[in-house]
Amino acid sequence: MQTVNANGSSIPALGFGTFRMPAADTLRMVPHVLKLGYRHVDTAQIYGNEAEVGEGIINSGVARGDIFLTTKVWVDNYRHDAFLASVDESLKKLKTDYVDLLLLHWPNDAVPLAEQIGALNAVHKAGKVRHVGVSNFNTALMAEAVKLSAAPLVTNQVEYHPYLDQSVVLDAARAAGMSVTSYYAMADGKVFDDSVIREIAAARGRTVAQIVLRWVVQEEGVIALSKTVGEARATENMAVFDFALSPDEVQAIHALAKPDGRIVDPQGLAPVWDAPRR
């Protein structure tokens, strides 16, 4: 498994995402993908499946120390004391005494960012989290968080797929020594009907999902989260490290970006996004 090194962390470049994954599917798929060779699992407090992720890790038979586990603190828990209590609750559900990466899930200007980062640093200093980062932050918030944090931030987890130009965020992350973690890589299923990607997949003898995941992980400093409730698809999604896309193929996929390509933009949570370059 390829890894991405960022500010002292070494993160498996392909992670298994569990967003909107029901309990039964989580209990079935987490041990399955870990047995396949996945070593990065992503969850969050708001997903409601941390307990099943923890049980799945135990049931996999894979040593906890070999797994890179990420969870995220929900915005309602950003006040310092609530933050610390919520992390303890997450660790209890996950059946572990630490997580490899803890993220602020979305911006929340009702709580000063300094207080959020202070709490993030407190659990890091206590050894409850190995690395810290943010999610769904624009570049201005990223820069502020970097300045406020004693512990280095290692990633910004954001929506990223062929229809959304995130080069501004990618450049800012690289300049700060951070990685970018891509969610919604399949653009909520839109990629499967895309003629450009389908043509590349056919020429390569690969699936559309494999082409998109390869496009993500081939980009410097970028990690892909893949989610599936199918065992066969999980196997296919992992097979993206034995080939490379050509520069022309990469550019053809980048060219699919649209000004209105963003899918995830929840009112009351989303910041003012950076304007795309294309």
Quote the CA–CA distance of 34 and 25 in Å, as a whole number.
14
- Residue 41 CA from chain centroid, whole number: 9
3-state secondary structure of 153: strand
Phi, psi (5° rounding) for residue 265?
Answer: -150, 60
Neighbours of 174 (CB within 10 A): 15
Catalytic residue among 38, 47, 160, 184: 47
Is 78 known to be catalytic? Answer: no
The answer to whether the annotation marks 124 as part of a ligand binding site is no
* CB neighbour list of residue 4: distance below 8 Å, 6 or more residues apart: 10, 11, 12, 13, 179, 221, 222, 223
| Cα gap 120→33, rounded to integer Å | 29
Supply the residues annotated as catalytic.
Answer: 47
Which segments are annotated as binding site for substrate? Answer: 105
Which segments are annotated as binding site? Answer: 105
